[in-house]
Amino acid sequence: MTPGLSALVRLRDEETWCRLAIESIVDWCDEVIVVLNRPSDATPDIVANLASVHRGKIRVYEHNHETWPMGPNHDAISADDPRSSAALYNFTASKATRTHGVKIDGDMIMMDWAGAEIRRLMDKGRDRIRFEGVDIVGDELKHVGCHPTCRTNGVYRLAGTHYLQGAMTQSLRGVPDAEDAFGKPAFLHFKWARKSFASATAQWPQGWEEMPHFQNIAARRHPVAPYRGEYPASVRALL
C-alpha cells in the first residue's frame, strides 16, 4: 500500500451533515472512501456532487445489504455475514490504497486544526493516533448532552486490522496501542443535532423503545449544559 491516509466513511441517511463531514477531511486525507449503505434520502446526490468537485480524491462504493442492528445480540451473526456491521466496515477498509485509515462518520466534523496535527504526527512515524470529540445536541448547536465525550478509533495502520462482531457493536482488532492523544476535542459529533430522530435511529432494532440500552442512548439527545468549546469554521457559519 502507498504511504498515506485513507478516510473511511460509511453513510446511510446522513443528508444533514455528510457534506460538511467530508469537506472537513478531504483536503488533508490522501483519499476518501465513501460506502453507501442503502440510503433513502439525498445522501447519494450530495456525495456525487462532492466527488465531481474533488475528482479522483473521493471514491464511492455501495454495500447493498441490510445491516444487522447495533445493541443486544449484535454478535448473533458472524463478521463474515454480509449483513454484519463488521462486514460493512471491513468492506470499506478493503477499498483503501493507503497505509493508514481514519474512520469518519457522516455526522462527524473535524476541527480546522486537526488535519495538520494528524499529518504532523504521521510524518513522525506514528502508527496510531488517538483523539476524541464532543457530542453536540439540539438544533441550536450550542449544547451538549449527558454523555458529551465521543470516542473513535482515531488513525491506525490498516495492515493486519479487521473488525469483528462485538456483543453490542463492532470491534476493531489488530490495532496498536494509542500513541498520541490531543489535549482537546478534535471533532464535533452531530448525531442528535438538526437530524430527524428516524435517521439517527435507523440502524436500531425494531422495538428498541422497550429496551433500556437504547432508551439510555436516546436520552443523550436532550441538552444538559452549554457547549463552551471551539467550532469548525463551517459550523460557526450555521450558528
d(CA 23, CA 9) in angstroms, rounded, equals 12
* Residue ranges of the chain with per-residue pLDDT less than 70: none
Name the grid cell of 28: 488533508
Q: What is the pLDDT of residue 217?
A: 86
Question: For the segment 39-52, what is each residue's pLDDT rounded down to a tens digit?
Answer: 999 999 999 999 99
Query: What is the value of pTM for the model shown?
Result: 0.94
Strand partners, 100: 5, 157
Q: What is the pLDDT of residue 207?
A: 86
Q: What is the pLDDT of residue 194?
A: 94
Q: What is the pLDDT of residue 75?
A: 86
User: Cα 157–163–167 angle (5° rounding)?
Assistant: 140
Name the grid cell of 225: 449544559
- The residues, ordered by sequence, that sit 6+ positions from 94 with a Cβ below 8 Å of its Cβ are none
Q: Which domains, ranges and CATH numbers included, belong to the chain?
A: 2-236 (3.90.550.10)
41 and 155 Cβ atoms separated by less than 8 Å: no
Q: What is the pLDDT of residue 198?
A: 83
Residue ranges of E strands in 181-234:
187-192, 225-226
